[in-house]
Structure 1
Amino acid sequence: MARSFQAQPDENSGALDSSRSLSDRVYEEIYRRISCDEWVKGDRLPTEVELAEQFGVSRTVVREALLRLRIDGLITSRPGAGSFVTGKPSRTVFEFARPGSIADIQRCYEFRVGIEGESAFLAAERRSQKRLEDIENALKAMDAAIKRNDLGAEEDIGFHLSVARATENDYYAKTIEVTTQAIRVGMQVASALSPLPPAERLMLAYTEHMSIFEAISDGDSEAARARMRAHIESSRRRVFVGT
């Protein structure tokens, strides 16, 4: 019997609420099933037709969801053979993310890679002594959080905001401000998933931030962009894959 997404989902189902797009809902449900080992690495997913029937949606909607899963490295498609599970996301994500937000958080990281990469690039080109001091102070706040063994979410956000403000373009800072909730959730999940001791995990993040600051301080805009992009992509992997 086809499963329709029109009804309100059970609170433990992992399905998104009716305000979300159909492709997001299919994406999150497949994500949930893989994380719960209903489909494990190497398993072949049902065909697009079968998935469309299960979820009560069109094949176009299913294709959009599968594309997102491929981008996230959770499945791979083989011509003529179908789609296969290649990775396992952590179920822990569901403990911290509000119902229906998994696809949003994934997209937020993807968006941040581009936006914050350019933010770091411009910060390096337009750096002033005052802005460099602000970024350095944000790093000092992160270091203090590490010494207190705190999660350091606000200090982390403060660093990204200080880089955005160094662009001298208010739109970058405003963009970071509206993504702060996703950043907080990401840090909570990464903390829960990390196999590293808390101090080591925090120091790893601190080192990545310090590397970005050094490139900005040196005026090396290309390195600043590359290091910021690599940092956010690494953060995404820590959240959704646990590595």
Structure 2
Amino acid sequence: MKDFATQQLRRFLSEPQWRSGGKLPSELQLAKEIGVSRPIVRQALTTLRHEGLITSKRGSGHYFQPLDKTASNIFGSSRSIKGVSDCFRFREVIECAAAAEAARVNDEERMARIDEAAQAMKASSINEQEAFEREFAFHLAIAEATRNPYFPMTLELLKPQIQTGFEIGRFLRDIPIHTTASQVVSEHIEIVEAIHKGDASRAEKLMRNHLKRGRERFMGYED
């Protein structure tokens, strides 16, 4: 339950109203919002604090440091084609390793979240922001399935750059939302199957192919 609460808190803090940071609701309010006990929320907050996502002040509460600002400081905020390409290539290093590690760990609870994220990609009538969020949620679920917090931490920091690539690619090529949806879903399913089977080598290979094809789809060229 702690992992579920941690994931829900990450999603909560990714909402637009938290872009400038601020003080979190009380632990009791968060517990009611998420649907877990207060001790579970406290454990989840401790995880986020260890990851550097929030700070806590005795007698004052918990405060969120916006990931976007941190990401801009660490990774920059390039909106160039080369910048997008560099981000894709860096993701190959991180996310291929994450897919392989998720297959090796084979955590049943986290595997279920990967399945849920993959199924969410099949939904119709979604706007561009929802399409991006569901794609990102799938990759984040795999990162979390490694049980190594540095994988999801890195992916969260990259989120603004990943979204930039998503937006630039569709703008340059005038791609409707669902043009590549069926192919992307198919690639996701293959990755999920390899992870379920504990085939780390295949999971890594399929993730590499998925990101390579993504670079080609969104940028319109091979490099």
TM tier, shorter chain?
A: 0.5 to 0.7
Q: How does 1:183-222 map to 2 (within 5 A)?
A: 183-193=162-172, 198-222=177-201
1:128 partner amino acid: D
* Contact kept in structure 2, 1:117 and 1:225, CA below 8 Å: yes
* Contact kept in structure 1, 2:96 and 2:204, CA below 8 Å: yes
Aligned to 1:161: 140
**1:100 Cα offset (Å):** 5.6
* Contact kept in structure 1, 2:173 and 2:220, CA below 8 Å: no
**CA distance, structure 2, for counterparts of residue 169 and residue 99 of structure 1:** 28
Aligned to 1:59: none
Which structure carries more helix by proportion?
2
1:150 aligns with 2:137: no
1:172 aligns with 2:151: yes
Of stretches 194-203 and 162-171 in structure 1, the one that deviates more from structure 2 is 194-203
Q: Indicate the SS of the match to 1:179.
A: helix
Q: Classify 1:192/1:124 alpha carbon distance in 2 versus 1 (closer, same or farther; 3 Å).
A: same
Q: Classify 1:192/1:210 alpha carbon distance in 2 versus 1 (closer, same or farther; 3 Å).
A: farther
**TM-score (normalised: structure 1):** 0.54
Gaps in structure 1 of 5+ consecutive residues: 1-97
**CA distance, structure 2, for counterparts of residue 102 and residue 190 of structure 1:** 9
Q: Indicate the SS of the match to 1:174.
A: helix
**CA distance, structure 2, for counterparts of residue 100 and residue 140 of structure 1:** 30
Q: Indicate the SS of the match to 1:219.
A: coil
Aligned to 1:114: 93
Aligned to 1:228: 207
Q: Classify 1:105/1:229 alpha carbon distance in 2 versus 1 (closer, same or farther; 3 Å).
A: same
Percent identity, aligned pairs only?
31
1:238 aligns with 2:217: yes
Note the aligned Cα RMSD (angstroms): 2.1
Q: Indicate the SS of the match to 2:121.
A: helix
Gaps in structure 2 of 5+ consecutive residues: 1-76
Q: How does 1:11-26 map to 2 (within 5 A)?
A: none
**1:185 Cα offset (Å):** 1.9
